[in-house]
Amino acid sequence: MEAGESNSGNERRIISKDSSWFSQFRNASNPWMARYAYALIFLVSNLLAWAARDYGRGALTEMKRLKGCNGGKDCLDAEGVLRVSLGCFIFFIVMFLSTARTSKLNDVRDTWHSGWWSVKIALWVVMTIIPFLLPSEFIQIYGEVAHFGAGVFLLIQLISIISFITWLNECCESEKFAARCRIHVMLFATTAYVVCLVGIILMYIWYAPKPSCLLNIFFISWTLVLLQLMTSVSLHPKVDAGILTPGLMGLYVVFLCWCAIRSEPAGGNCIRKSDSTTKTDWLSIISFVVAVLAIVIATFSTGIDSKCFQLKKDNTPPAEDDVPYGYGFFHFVFATGAMYFAMLLIGWNSHHSMRKWTIDVGWTSTWVKIVNEWLAVCVYLWMLIAPIIWNIRHIGST
């Protein structure tokens, strides 16, 4: 029996190495290829949710036939987004439950994850249709739960980004690369700080042109304070985390501050931007497309980064037949990502009307990003000082 399983695994590895991408995809032999298929399903769900919000009125006649749509009006706008999101969420939760704790490539669950695409596409279609048959009250409950799920997604993404930044810094400071990376680290760190300062100055000019713009002045000034705080803690002798990580984290928090202010609803005198009018221009369309692609890419990249969430690090090299990434975690990230894209398309408020070709606009969206920025700094600082605190407690206990 073990010999049969070994031969099966060897055959799959031969297929992976020698066959075309299409053959690998068809024969369920390449889990790396499967990632792109799931990302495509996720992208199509995003586009369906957007279509339900912006162009659902054209399908009103057909919607009237659906039992849970209350004459069609409950399957459009925000509720239409939530219904599509629920279908996508159910699909990836089913995949999560059926692939969690898969560890070997010759496992049946590995074949299910990497293959059976006709069955899974049919399953996704069914899961997308079912929410349109549910009553509006159930969808509203899902909308409330989706706030929490989207927050979980943001937290996972945040930890993944910070882990990547610290990993990059550790690589540059390792004995193998320290000598030849010293100049590159200084160059990247200096560039990061210059970009941060230029970004902060531009935000003052664009989004705080008057002393009366107190909220925007507070957001921008507090971002500058947080940048200084991260730098001071990182350069403290007991921490000694270098200058690269606070510089890269500075880029991230400045970007979050900029996104938060950009999410403020149009109409005020503190935001000088072209989309303050009700007219939809090409810049709005391009911004929307880029934002949707960014959601998919962020979900995709975070989904394969399960190692940064392991409480106990395992430095042993992986076996040849180990799965390349955590399948269960991958699908869980996509499930929470389904809730996240719903919140972006409805502005984190199911009763908030959104203009066509807009995404993540409204005061709720603004505060979600600001809190995300502050949380990012807190998590980063905790990752710096936590080892010191644990060492002090360990010394005290001994």
Residue 174 in any domain: the answer is yes
195-198 long-range contacts (CB < 8 A, ≥24 apart) are 195/251, 195/254, 196/227, 196/247, 196/250, 196/251, 196/254
Report DSSP letters for 160-225, one per residue.
Answer: HHHHHHHHHHHHHHSTTTHHHHHHHHHHHHHHHHHHHHHHHHHHHHHH--STT-HHHHHHHHHHHH
Phi, psi of 104, rounded to the nearest 5 degrees? -120, 145
| Locus of tokens 């030849």 | 180
* Tally of domains in the chain: 1
- Residue 209 is predicted with a pLDDT of 86
Tokens of 271: 């935001």
Residue 15 in any domain: the answer is no
Residue 327 in any domain: the answer is yes
Q: Over range 277-283, report the average pLDDT.
A: 54
Lowest mean pLDDT, pick from 6-20, 84-98, 132-146, 382-396: 6-20
- In the chain, the percentage of residues whose pLDDT exceeds 70 is 77
Closest CA to 87 of 379, 350, 377, 339: 339
Q: Which amino acid is at 317?
A: P
- Residue 172 is predicted with a pLDDT of 80
| pTM strictly above 0.85 | no
Q: Give the residue, 267 or 224, on which the prediction is more confident.
A: 224
- Residue 185 is predicted with a pLDDT of 86
Residue 202 in any domain: the answer is yes
Query: Of the ranges 87-91, 157-161, 295-299, 357-361, which is most confident?
Result: 87-91
- Residue 16 is predicted with a pLDDT of 46
Lowest mean pLDDT, pick from 193-202, 203-212, 308-317: 308-317
Query: Of the ranges 19-28, 215-224, 236-245, which is most confident?
Result: 215-224
Residue 8 in any domain: the answer is no
Report DSSP letters for 85-99, one per residue.
Answer: HHHHHHHHHHHHHHH
Residue 3 in any domain: the answer is no
Residues 6+ apart with CB under 8 A from 219: 257, 260, 261, 370
Residue 342 in any domain: the answer is yes
Q: Which amino acid is at 214?
A: L
| Locus of tokens 């190692």 | 307
Mean pLDDT estimate for the chain: 81
- Residue 24 is predicted with a pLDDT of 54
Closest CA to 100 of 89, 90, 112, 88: 112
Give pLDDT tens digits for 324-379: 888 889 999 999 999 999 998 888 887 766 777 778 788 888 999 999 999 999 99
Q: Give the residue, 210 or 20, on which the prediction is more confident.
A: 210
Q: Over range 304-333, report the average pLDDT.
A: 73
Query: Of the ranges 127-131, 134-138, 181-185, 285-289, which is most confident?
Result: 127-131
Counts for the chain of helices (H) and strands (E), in that order:
14, 0
Give pLDDT tens digits for 11-42: 444 344 445 555 555 555 578 888 889 999 99
235 three-class SS: coil
- Residue 291 is predicted with a pLDDT of 74
- Residue 393 is predicted with a pLDDT of 75
- Residue 275 is predicted with a pLDDT of 42
67 pLDDT higher than 70: no
- Residue 198 is predicted with a pLDDT of 96
Please state at what angle helix 214-234 crosses helix 178-207, rounded to 10 degrees: 170
Domain hosting 251: range is 21-396
Residue 123 in any domain: the answer is yes
